[in-house]
Amino acid sequence: MLKLQSRNQFATLLDAVVLTGEDDGRNAIIYIATDREPIFISRREFRQRVSGYANSLRQAGIQPRDLVVIAHTQNLESIYAFWGALQIGAIPSMFPTLTEKLDPDIYRQNMAELVRLSDVKAILTNNDFAPTLQTRVDCPVYSTTNLPNPQSPISNSQSPLSNPDEIAFLQHSSGTTGLQKGVALSHTAVLNQLASYSDAIRLTAEDVVVSWLPLYHDMGLIAGFLLPLVQGIPLVLMSPFDWVQHPALLLRAIDQFGGTLCWLPNFAYNHCARRIRKRDKAGLSLASMRMFINCSEPVRHDSHQLFLEKFKAQGVTPEMLAVSYAMAENTFAVTQTEPGQPARLDVVEQQALTQNRLAQPAAPDDPGALVQVSCGRPIAGTAVRVLDDQGNELEEREVGELAVQSNCMLTEYYRRPDLRPFRDGWYLTGDMGYVADGEVYIIGRAKDLIINAGKNVYPQDIEAIVNTVPGVHAGRAVVFGVPDEREGTELIAVVAEVQTDAPAVRKEIARQIRQTVVRQSMVTVSYVHLVGPKWLIKTSSGKIARAANREKWLREKQNDRRIGKATDKN
């Protein structure tokens, strides 16, 4: 296996155990769905399928270093396509597919712009979508049926020898449009991450990873996909669409296949606890699990407690609830809590934290206290600093922006020389937090980024959509996140100025805002607050003051007990 001690035995991702291991009959992937029996893919079959796909891409004219976007509905084909592209030296990038919630025209426009800016050489997508997409983009679009048929599989010896420091693949940041930044990661960076992180979680050959996570997100792509295949341990995979509709599918997979590791965003703990019925968990055991690892957004103690209480009868213990602070720019993990131990809790004074940027310890029974959940210590090869607004390093328990330096950092934002991610060799994360006793705590975002159900939502993107809705005063809309304890994530609020006071007209405008946003961005708006002219606060330079408007809205919401008059919640 790839560990720090064996790191020199792996040059590129093509040295993955799933491609080179001797136990051909061992399961590489077990793909499960709600409507059929599990599909078992052995290492032998995996290699054959990947090699066949590599030949198909070669016949299609794909060359080494060409960027290939994979926008299938998440399935086995997208997995073979990714590894097939790697095998011929191309640069694959998993990308969200078109769903019924997205506006097809907007999706195609965004994809066309991505093709133009990033010089995409080919797009692989679904049969029913490929013909219409081909009319909008300036590169070939291949479906399952029009990709050249594979000839005889190629061996690794026939594959181009990649420079370990060359870009292996792109992770596109999980924004709300098709123009996310392409995080370019080298073979060296990814292997360094997998070696350090495997040591941090004490990975063994007996582990089994169970995942529903989308492969276009760093948590799904690295932890729930590349890590088990590179290490040669079984991956039990399901569609995120199946999991959202049937969250008990995850529990049944863990019980059936002896799952030991599962990565989840914070909202998933609430989703499982609230949506899985008593009869759906009856007779199931989760006792095989070593860790449920919470990452990708600030971790909520109440979400962990809700999950623990709901599934303790199935064998879930506090020691299983682990945490990792992760980001695509660092390949994946920055930190990890200690396996076999509950994540450390830090009880701090709320006023000192929010007003003085100081994580001052408080008594557990203090009514003004906040419980912060540790993300653990930095993994090997990664360092974390906390900086003030001037870039000076802060002391322990002082709150500032987190900066990261590591040997698994991105090479660049792909073909974006205007974006400079490093300052003096350190990557500025945009996350606010502090360090206490060597462990990292995340408290929020330095910028306006909203974390909604594990997805990064950029308010500017949603505001641009809202401004197109008839009846909204263009340029007079603001979007911000509102923490919600029940859902365990941030909900999205829209405040927009309109000219009318008529209740029926306002109700229709609010409906159009919700509908247009979800159609164009796959983001659900929870609050719509329509106001009259000059309600919104602007800065001296004429920009919408997002934080100030959020505070104004919260004050009015608290004072107005009749929320339904102008503000409604799904």
CATH number at residue 199: 3.40.50.12780
Assigned domain for 307 exists:
no
**Quick one: pLDDT at residue 386?**
98
Task: Please report the DSSP string for 16-73 in residue order.
Answer: -HHHH-S-TTSEEEEEE-SSSPPEEEEHHHHHHHHHHHHHHHHHTT--TT-EEEEEPS
Q: Is the pLDDT of residue 540 over 50?
A: no
**Quick one: pLDDT at residue 99?**
73
Output the pTM of the full model. 0.84
Q: Say if residue 503 is in the same domain as residue 540.
A: yes
**Quick one: pLDDT at residue 153?**
55
Which of 187, 137, 128 has its CA nearest to residue 163? 187
Which residues, listed in sequence order, are joined to residue 492 by a DSSP beta bridge?
481
**Quick one: pLDDT at residue 8?**
97
Q: Taking the mean position of all CA atoms in its chain, how far away is CA 436?
A: 26
CATH number at residue 511: 3.30.300.30
Average pLDDT over residues 411-440: 92
Q: How many residues does the chain have?
A: 570
Instruction: State the pLDDT confidence band at 460, using cuts at 50, 70 and 90.
Output: confident
Query: What average pLDDT does the chain have?
Result: 90
Q: Say if residue 494 is in the same domain as residue 461.
A: yes
CA dist 269 and 101 (Å) reads: 24
Q: Which domain holds residue 564?
A: 450-569
**Quick one: pLDDT at residue 151?**
57
**Quick one: pLDDT at residue 154?**
52
Instruction: State the pLDDT confidence band at 563, using cuts at 50, 70 and 90.
Output: very low
Please list, in sequence order, all residues whose beta carbon lies within 8 angstroms of the beta carbon of residue 100, skipping any fewer than 6 positions away: none
**Quick one: pLDDT at residue 537?**
87
**Quick one: pLDDT at residue 30?**
98
CA dist 360 and 353 (Å) reads: 7
CA dist 135 and 150 (Å) reads: 26
Assigned domain for 126 exists:
yes
Q: Is the pLDDT of residue 535 over 80?
A: yes
Helix H segments across 157-300?
Answer: 187-200, 218, 227-231, 240-245, 248-257, 266-275, 278-281
Task: Please report the DSSP string for 104-117 in residue order.
Answer: HHHHHHHHHHHHHH
**Quick one: pLDDT at residue 412?**
93
Alpha carbon separation from 31 to 28, 39, 104, 230 (Å, rounded): 10, 5, 28, 17
CA dist 414 and 410 (Å) reads: 10
More confident residue, 330 or 109: 330
User: Which residue has tokens 């295949």?
Assistant: 229
Assigned domain for 423 exists:
yes
**How do strand 369-373 and strand 345-349 relate by DSSP bridges?**
antiparallel
**Quick one: pLDDT at residue 440?**
98
Please list, in sequence order, all residues whose beta carbon lies within 8 angstroms of the beta carbon of residue 121, skipping any fewer than 6 positions away: 62, 63, 66, 67, 68, 90, 139, 140
Q: Say if residue 231 is in the same domain as residue 355.
A: no
- With the CA atoms of 176, 181, 182 and 185 taken in that order, what torsion angle do they form, in degrees rounded to the nearest 10? -120
Q: Say if residue 509 is in the same domain as residue 548.
A: yes
Q: Say if residue 462 is in the same domain as residue 414.
A: no
**Quick one: pLDDT at residue 50?**
96
Domain boundary among 220, 245, 270: 245
Q: Say if residue 188 is in the same domain as residue 63.
A: yes
Q: Say if residue 508 is in the same domain as residue 398.
A: no
Which of 227, 215, 237 has its CA nearest to residue 78? 215
Residue 19 main-chain phi, psi, to 5 deg: -95, -20
User: Which residue has tokens 């659900």?
Assistant: 524
**How do strand 472-484 and strand 291-294 relate by DSSP bridges?**
unpaired
Domain boundary among 415, 445, 475: 445
Domain boundary among 218, 245, 272: 245
The pLDDT tens digits for 168-187 are 999 986 544 445 689 999 99
Q: Say if residue 391 is in the same domain as residue 460.
A: no
The count of other CB atoms within 10 Å of the CB of residue 35 is 5
**Quick one: pLDDT at residue 96?**
83
Q: Say if residue 457 is in the same domain as residue 432.
A: no
Q: Say if residue 440 is in the same domain as residue 455.
A: no
Q: Say if residue 67 is in the same domain as residue 95.
A: yes
Assigned domain for 297 exists:
no
Instruction: State the pLDDT confidence band at 104, using cuts at 50, 70 and 90.
Output: confident
CA dist 427 and 385 (Å) reads: 10
Q: Is the pLDDT of residue 17 over 60?
A: yes
Structure tokens at 511: 């409906």
**Quick one: pLDDT at residue 161?**
60
The number of domains in the chain is 3
Assigned domain for 23 exists:
yes
The pLDDT tens digits for 486-508 are 778 889 999 999 999 999 999 99
User: For the CA atoms of the chain, what is the radius of gyration?
Assistant: 24
The count of other CB atoms within 10 Å of the CB of residue 503 is 10
User: Which residue has tokens 């300052």?
Assistant: 423
**Quick one: pLDDT at residue 570?**
42
Q: Say if residue 414 is in the same domain as residue 473.
A: no
Assigned domain for 255 exists:
no
CA dist 119 and 201 (Å) reads: 38
